[in-house]
Structure 1
Amino acid sequence: MKAAGILVAALISASVAACGTPVVGVPVPVAAPPATSTTVVAVPAAPQTVYVQQPPAYVAPGDTAEARTVVAYYDAINRRDFATAWSLGGSRIAGGGGYTRYVDGFATTSWDTVTVTDVRGSTVSVVLSAVQTDGSTRTFSGTYTVSGGVITGSHMTRTK
């Protein structure tokens, strides 16, 4: 009987260890043995910063250099790499306010999701959902013009 108890304990330990192996991007439950009056379970403090994997930046009907440029632009914005976004065309579509004003324009934007709906030559048609820091979402549709790997123009209209 004692050997059977040791075998069961070994199987439980193996199961707990297997459940505790994380897979990137997928939440994994971790089973813990039930607490008894003699069991002490340490609970780690909650982390100060939690990073959440975001959805893909776009869905493209055709994988073209022009579509990739627009996607790279929004990827840079989502990473808060405004220098890269500026060099990918932000400088050309900022409206003359300069770099600081351009960056300040994203102060209330948490995350952008851009969907490429069509690519015709140098014109990339998109739908943009911009999640705001207050939890609301602003939706836009329009086009970007891309030349030489840089956005050279845009015509976006707020739809919601």
Structure 2
Amino acid sequence: MAVNATRIAVAALVLLGAAACGIPVTGVPVPVTVVPPAPVTSTATVAVPAPVYVQPPVSPPPRQTTEAGVVVAYYDAINRRDFATAWSLGGSRVAGSGGYAKYANGFATTAWDTLTVTDVRGGTVYVVLSAAQTDGTTRTFSGTYTVSGGVIVGSRMTRTG
């Protein structure tokens, strides 16, 4: 009985699919034989993949400019933990003293940054930044990044929350 129901269901799906594609359907449906899959008898273990955490992307700028794109790319690199790219986009110029290792380690307690570009005036990109911390808190900053020649050459950020 279950095999007949399966045949009818498959035939109906074939007809619906053909109708959806604009193929004229005439005549009587042809029965289709469906072979059920063989039961699984293996005792193999299955590796469970590591969890993947999906975060919202960095907010796009209010108007697309090269300067805003550099700042967005900078925070995208930080969110991907690609500190070498962030460093080359201007992290080296805004990090202060201490070098690359100190710069990269400075993000150890940052889980995710959400950037909102609020304005762009020439080479100055105005932003609001929410930095979600690994302890569940959020730090909020606002300020500006100065972009020249495709890299960040300066920043003035103030913690607001």
The TM-score range, normalised by the shorter chain, is 0.7 to 0.9
| 2:88 counterpart SS class | helix
Aligned to 2:5: 5
Output the aligned Cα RMSD.
3.0
Contact 2:60–2:72 (8 Å) recurs in 1: no
Q: Letter of the aligned partner of 2:73 in structure 1?
A: A
- Aligned partner of 1:129: which letter? S
- Determine the structure 2 residue equivalent to 1:82: 83
1:9–1:80 distance in 2 versus 1, CA, 3 Å:
same
Paired with 1:49 and 1:2, the residues of 2 have a C-alpha distance of 39
Whichever of the two has the greater Rg, that structure is: 2
Residue 71 of structure 1 pairs with residue 72 of structure 2: yes
Aligned-residue identity in percent: 66
- Assess, with a 3 A threshold, how the Cα gap between structure 1 residues 2 and 51 changes in structure 2: closer, same or farther: closer
Q: Give the Cα–Cα distance (whole angstroms) in 1 for the partners of residues 130 and 103 of structure 2.
A: 18
Cα-to-partner distance string for 1:12-59 (whole Å, 9 max, x where unaligned) = xxxxxxxxxxxxxxxxxxxxxxxxxxxx9x9x8683521122211123
Report the TM-score when normalising by structure 1: 0.73
Greater mean alpha carbon deviation, residues 48-57 or residues 139-148: 48-57
How many residue pairs match? The answer is 135
Which 4+ residue blocks in structure 1 deviate beyond 6 angstroms? none
Q: TM-score scaled to structure 2, two decimals?
A: 0.73
Deviations for 1:108-141, whole angstroms, at most 9, x for unmatched residues?
0111111100000000000001111111111111
- Which structure 1 residue ranges, 5 or more long, are not aligned? 12-39
Segments of 5+ residues of structure 2 without an aligned counterpart are: 12-40
SS of the residue corresponding to residue 115 of structure 1 reads strand
